[in-house]
């Protein structure tokens, strides 16, 4: 599509992906339900069961509680949150490094730019 509409090929990628996002957003606006009461795809018995479960299920915690600053403080002082942040950063930093620099590393082995881009695909195909 290079040259169509006086646009380069890379700009068409952004335009088409953006158009797809806008179309899905518009469709979602009309298809997603606000609450189980308004879900037309549920039978009346299913709606009644969901409403009963939301009202009497003790496992749904915090839905009626209002937000306050103590929730933020509780998150910042919880040691488990900080351990999760450390684990997340320990996973994301190497993955980002591989994502950004693997084509450059492969290119330094003497391969052409397009070949090094193609050779960086296999690590993403293998499931983790």
Distance CA 32, CA 8 (A): 36
Q: What is residue 89's predicted lDDT score, i.e. its pLDDT?
A: 96
* Helix boundaries (H) for 42-126: 44-56, 69-77, 79-107, 113-119, 122-125
> Long-range contact list for 51-56, CB < 8 A, 24+ apart?
none
Per-residue pLDDT of 57-78, as tens digits, reads: 766 555 556 777 888 898 899 9
Assess whether pLDDT exceeds 70 at residue 32. Answer: yes
Q: Residue 5 has what DSSP assignment?
A: G
Assess whether pLDDT exceeds 80 at residue 126. Answer: no
Assess whether pLDDT exceeds 70 at residue 110. Answer: yes
Distance CA 51, CA 44 (A): 11
pTM above 0.85, yes or no: no
């Amino acid at each position: 599509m290079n040259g169509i509409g006086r646009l380069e090929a890379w700009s068409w990628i952004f335009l088409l992906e953006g158009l797809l996002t806008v179309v899905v957003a518009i469709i979602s606006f009309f298809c997603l339900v606000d609450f189980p009461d308004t879900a037309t795809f549920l039978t009346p018995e299913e709606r009644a069961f969901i409403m009963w479960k939301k009202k009497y299920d003790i496992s749904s915690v915090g839905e009626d509680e209002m937000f306050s600053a103590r929730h933020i403080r509780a998150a910042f002082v919880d040691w488990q949150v900080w351990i999760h942040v450390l684990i997340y950063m320990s996973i994301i930093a190497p993955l980002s490094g591989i994502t950004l620099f693997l084509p450059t590393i492969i290119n330094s082995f003497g391969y052409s730019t397009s070949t090094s881009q193609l050779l960086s695909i296999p690590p993403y195909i293998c499931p983790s």
